[in-house]
A and B are shown apart, each in its own frame.
Chain A
């Protein structure tokens, strides 16, 4: 059973409150702080009152509790079976998990039950020992906030050597690839892990020297004609982007998308894939790119 109160925010928050009561550090102020940090927007209207009014008989007036130990819920069978299913996923090797304790657990599902029907076929090799080793060095660098020295092959075959500050690992299910995100001089740069030749852990870096980077964004406005179920297809396809949709008339919609500027070519071909049901109406530069493609096509 997936939808259960034992996984709920309220139970987790009350567990934290009870832990502080056992430590002897609970106050009314702390109750509100814990609720605001870990529950929902309106939870502060409910949880403190339920505790104070003894609707939930867990905390006394003097902020004590009859519990003797800090709450610690065991894992459910569902949680353990899910973990066991992950062990058969080739990507689990990247994370160096300790899988002891799951020997007698049946996996929730087998990996061959799931098919990614349109995933690209040139994904990273997650079973390659060198790839796994580099991945784990990167994780350590991210965890401990340390620099890396990396050597990698750039897109036109040139080899680069960099000392860099890693800021994250990004995975794409479509590409089935990982990319290392590093802090460049002005923005975030991305390096495909499969193109990395070597990776060496260096010293810690000064966190204050790494500014908050803003990833350059771009915008495109589309007019969508709701024929052949185009509206639903477009909305779903671009649902992973920040967007705003306005209904113009019955059957016509305006969709404003925000995307990472470096992904312009990808966004272009995805818009083209919808054919005449989606028309770019701004910015002019994007309209020109589409027009150029159509002109190239017309001349063939």
Chain B
């Protein structure tokens, strides 16, 4: 098949884009490509879409292509460009403009009328172009009716189609679009809306801006639809460790997002009565909405109660909690450390023990999930205790390794790990 910068199936490019953006150190041979040609095509597409954001380097393994973005400086997520690269046929583009133009006077018309007008008034200028038959036009009208850009009404025996005009002042939304297109989980829809406007604002930016979630927009939309329609789903999940695909029937309940690493998870129940579980959204290959009602409302209270002791996303279903105590020595001038405990410590409790010593305690399902946060207080940790002794031992063992790594001015022990 001849190369095109447009694509039919977004799933094919999703994984490549992630690897170019997140990893960006693999050479052509190291990608999980079906073929070298497959890699070449996808790399060429990404260069065409993303131009300035793609960089290259040469090393012993060959040419390395990678994507690097300072997301604090960008106005819009460059990954959205991939969502604007869907392939289409010449019929698709012709019918799009013809149908909307015919209906632009506000009058309703039947499929037959539209087909005839296209032949008489639009294609008459293009003698070599094959006329559309009525079924082709009907299918396109039905598609646009589903999308909402036209609507249908019965008039006697006839089904008439009208343009779906609305009374929305898009200009008043410009700055909101500039903001929410980058902040909202389905911000790509905001980007579609901004394409309809001129002179979009360039003065709203983001810090700690994780743009990779955009690649999951299609999956996310299906999950949100399932939750909204209260439907069970079947997930097709890729396990990269086992290199295998598994299917799970799930009751979808919430979407959990990390603001500190950009990862997103589906929180739900296995089957209708099974355990609560989380599923990484970037591992979900397909979502199938089932006809079964999920009855999410009956599970909300249990879910909220269950989520109460989650530190980030790690959960358990035996409801067993692990107790954590972190004791810090805080200098008088370092009040911001206590402020950090308050704003980041979730449902934890802070006690002042006097003499600049603060104790933070909390009960969570999985204390090991807290270790990265605990380590950010390095330099002030008097004591770290955990009812799960393995976690406590790991913390102190890791600290010892770090002492070795940075031991002396010659760089410490490079083989500490």
Contact = CB atoms under 8 A, between A and B. Distances in A.
Nearest to B9: A3
Contacts of B380: 296-297, 300
Contacts of A119: 259
Interface in A251-300: 253, 258, 260, 269-270, 272-277, 279, 281, 287, 290-294, 296-298, 300
A69 B406 contact: no
Contacts of B399: 275, 297
B417 A225 contact: yes
A74 B376 contact: no
Contacts, number: 366
Interface string B302-334: 000001001011000000000000000100000
Contact of B207 (A50, A170, A298): A170
Interface stretch (B82-90, B153-161, B269-277, B286-294): B82-90
A102 B261 contact: no
Contacts of B211: 239-240
B352 interface: no
Contacts of A120: 343-344
B125 A5 contact: no
The interface size bin for chain B is 35 or more
B203 A297 contact: no
Given A86-B184, A115-B255, A276-B402, A242 B70 contact: yes
B175 to A, nearest CB: 5
Interface residues of A, number: 121
Interface stretch (B107-115, B188-196, B242-250, B385-393): B188-196
Given A172-B208, A173-B206, A75 B411 contact: no
A95 interface: yes
Contacts of A204: none
B125 A57 contact: yes
B133 interface: no
B381 A170 contact: no
B64 to A, nearest CB: 8
Closest 10 CB pairs of A and B: A77-B148, A101-B168, A276-B401, A57-B126, A5-B88, A273-B372, A296-B379, A95-B176, A269-B376, A41-B48
24 contacts: A2-B189, A2-B217, A3-B83, A9-B85, A41-B48, A58-B94, A69-B104, A71-B100, A72-B100, A73-B149, A92-B176, A102-B168, A108-B224, A116-B258, A120-B344, A173-B183, A181-B205, A236-B210, A242-B68, A273-B372, A281-B411, A293-B378, A296-B380, A297-B378
Interface of B: 4-6, 10, 21-26, 44, 47-49, 51, 55, 57, 59, 61, 66, 68-72, 81, 83-88, 90, 92-94, 96-98, 100-101, 104, 121-126, 128-129, 147-150, 163-169, 172-173, 175-176, 179-180, 183-186, 188-190, 192-193, 195-196, 201, 203-212, 217-218, 221, 224, 227-228, 254-263, 267, 307, 310, 312-313, 329, 339, 342-344, 346, 371-373, 375-376, 378-382, 398-399, 401-403, 405-406, 411, 414, 416-417
